[in-house]
Structure 1
Amino acid sequence: MSKVSRDEIIEVLKTVYDPEIPVNIVDLGLIYGIEIDDKGKVYILMTLTAPGCPIGDTIAFEIKDKLLQIEGVSDVEVEITFDPPWTLDRITEEGREVLRTFGFNI
């Protein structure tokens, strides 16, 4: 089994989007932690833009589905937390640029 890198995980996570916001979940600042154990299990700690967000399970399923396609990933666990709560400050500069092109004043 090949060793999975954090960079590989991040690149795949950048293909996952909140359906209501045109920015990937990494640049949106939703990913709080990534851990990979020596057996290839990936642990993702993330948040959502709001506690009542109805698409949390959908995003978690998409993350699992996409990460399991990486060679060397044996399993994926996604944990959603609201501690600390997400804020606009977590959006990367790349994410801010995308939002500006869509007319957001950020």
Structure 2
Amino acid sequence: MAADQNTGAPFSPTENRVMDALQSVIDPELGVDIVNLGLIYDVQVDDQQLCVITMTLTTMGCPVSNVLSQQIIEQALATDGVAKCKINLVWEPVWSPNMMTRYAKIALGIHE
């Protein structure tokens, strides 16, 4: 998974389920899911079942950010153990194609 940028603590089972669910959120411009694109930096679920997803976008002016946010929240809330969801949108570290998984690079025709 592309959550290598998380805070360093291993994901809980609930956090892993959220990450799995987020793989169904496809960036409509690129046709690849947001996890493999490397857009998800961290997922944290607390004792009150609040899920905080720290993420970025490929560009600051991403025209599909509202659509992605809605789908991300829907997928998180559909996960057992999550009652509320908040997105923490960050711009550092800056996203780059190097953050994509091998799967995403192959899907987009990027060869290294």
* TM interval, short-chain normalised: 0.7 to 0.9
Which position in structure 1 is the counterpart of 2:84? 75
Q: Deviations along 1:6-55, whole A, 9 cap, x unmatched?
A: 22011100000111002100000000111110111100011100011111
Which position in structure 1 is the counterpart of 2:48? 39
Alpha-carbon contact 1:4-1:40 (below 8 Å) kept: no
Which position in structure 2 is the counterpart of 1:9? 18
Given candidates 99, 103, 110, the residue that maps to 1:90 is 99
Q: Distance in 2 between matches of 1:59 and 1:4?
A: 24
Q: What is the TM-score with the length of structure 2 in the denominator?
A: 0.82
Letter in 2 for 1:45: T
Stretches of structure 1 lacking an aligned partner (at least 5 in a row): none
Alpha-carbon contact 2:18-2:75 (below 8 Å) kept: no
Describe the SS at the equivalent of 1:5.
helix
Q: What is the TM-score with the length of structure 1 in the denominator?
A: 0.87
RMSD: 1.6
Number of aligned residues: 101
Letter in 2 for 1:60: S
Q: Quick check: which has more Rg, 1 or 2? A: 1
Stretches of structure 2 lacking an aligned partner (at least 5 in a row): 1-11
Q: Distance in 2 between matches of 1:98 and 1:61?
A: 24
1:55 aligned onto 2:70 = no
Report the identity percentage.
Answer: 31
Alpha-carbon contact 2:22-2:33 (below 8 Å) kept: yes
Q: Which runs of 4+ in 1 moved over 4 A?
A: none
Q: Distance in 2 between matches of 1:12 and 1:95?
A: 17
